[in-house]
């Protein structure tokens, strides 16, 4: 199968791996991979690569993401979100000026160093942090650099139903590896209150937007009608912002057989998508050892001498 990208709207309460298993059932193939884990309670865009598109997983995982959510000021939790146990409380007695909130959010834009939450899948000494956390063990966590492209309020702050928390609706666009939970905690720190992430919805990932996504119920229906493949986006949809270059039959044969090429003969790009008959056949990158040359990074077409 050629495959494509299944734009799934992940519901709350299921893991990203659960979604992969569902997609394998819908599409009747084992060739399915996701492009970045979403926490079980986080909803929204989860692009799933199907068939030959699974080769794109490492590239698409590097793409930026966007979210909308709510920060709860007034308590901190073990997991930095609403699923954890409360470990600190400080009730917000009065409304905080919107200008102060905006200043705190603005201070968290740009290049940041983040320490991953203990309840996360980051590995330290061969074990995931959440495994240490469940055993009650603490371990030194390496910081990581992330980029916050934008972070701002999307509405006026409001009180929670129990009136114990001041809720801040926000949106964020960020690089891979960003823990939005940690951004919520850091926002609280800047405002002088413990905080946690209350809700989170991913609105964009790997070039896929929320309004393009199918729900689990919609996919169940399509699968029951043997129409699940109608949901797939083309491979080129998620590659459209990369530099493309159309080649002729002779060049396509060389490329699909993995030839190393002279860079000066093609457009300069960190990633160059070669197409033939307007279809992506390979992605090339600068050669790490041969100056002035480019080499295959991802092969998207069957080698010419293997075609049947």
Residues with Cβ within 8 Å of 130's Cβ and at least 6 positions away in sequence, in order, are 118, 119, 120, 121
What HEC string does the chain produce? CCEEEEEEEECCCCCHHHHHHHHHHHHCCCCEEECCCCCCCCEEEEEEEEEHHHHHHHHHHCCCEEEEEEEEECEEECCCECCCCEEEECCCCCCCCHHHHHHHHHCCCEEEEECCCCCCCCEECCEEHHHHHHCCCCCCCCCEEEEEEEEEECCCCEECCCCCCEEEEEEEEECCCCCHHHHHHHHHHHHCCCEEEEEEEEEEECCEEHHHCECHHHHHHHHHCCCHHHHCECHHHHHCCCEEEECCHHHHHHHHCCCCEEHHHCCCCCCEEEEECCEEEEEEEECCCCCCEEEEEEECCCCHHHCC
Query: Is residue 39 among the annotated active site residues?
Result: yes
Q: Which position among 39, 62, 220, 236 bears the catalytic label?
A: 39
User: What's the CA gap between 66 and 196, in Å, rounded?
Assistant: 18
Residues annotated as catalytic are: 39
């Amino acid at each position: 199968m050629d495959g494509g990208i299944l734009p799934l709207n992940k519901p709350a309460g299921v893991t990203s791996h659960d979604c992969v298993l569902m997609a394998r059932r819908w599409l009747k193939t084992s060739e399915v991979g996701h492009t970045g884990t979403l926490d079980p309670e986080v909803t929204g865009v989860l692009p799933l690569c199907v068939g030959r598109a699974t080769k794109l997983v490492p590239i698409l995982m590097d793409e930026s993401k966007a979210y909308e959510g709510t920060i709860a000021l007034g308590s901190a939790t073990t997991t930095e979100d609403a699923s954890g146990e409360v470990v600190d409380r400080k009730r917000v007695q009065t409304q905080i000026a919107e200008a102060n909130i905006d200043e705190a959010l603005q201070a968290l834009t740009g290049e940041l160093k983040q320490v991953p939450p203990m309840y996360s899948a980051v590995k330290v000494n061969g074990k995931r942090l959440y495994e240490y956390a469940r055993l009650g063990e603490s371990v030194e966590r390496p910081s990581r650099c992330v980029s916050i492209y934008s972070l701002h309020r999307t509405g006026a702050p409001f009180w929670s139903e129990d009136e114990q928390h001041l809720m801040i609706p926000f949106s964020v666009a960020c690089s891979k590896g960003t823990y939005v939970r940690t951004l919520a905690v850091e926002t609280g720190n800047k405002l002088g209150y413990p905080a946690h992430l209350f809700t989170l919805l991913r609105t964009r990932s790997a070039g896929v937007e929320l309004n393009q996504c199918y729900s689990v119920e919609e996919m169940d229906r399509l699968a029951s009608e043997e129409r699940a493949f109608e949901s797939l986006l083309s491979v080129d949809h998620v590659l459209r912002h990369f530099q493309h270059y159309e080649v002729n039959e002779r060049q396509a044969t060389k490329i699909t057989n993995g030839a190393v090429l002279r860079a000066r003969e093609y457009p300069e790009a960190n990633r160059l998508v070669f197409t033939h008959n307007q279809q992506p056949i390979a992605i090339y990158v600068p050669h790490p050892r041969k100056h002035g040359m480019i080499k295959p990074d991802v092969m998207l077409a069957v080698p010419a001498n293997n075609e049947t």
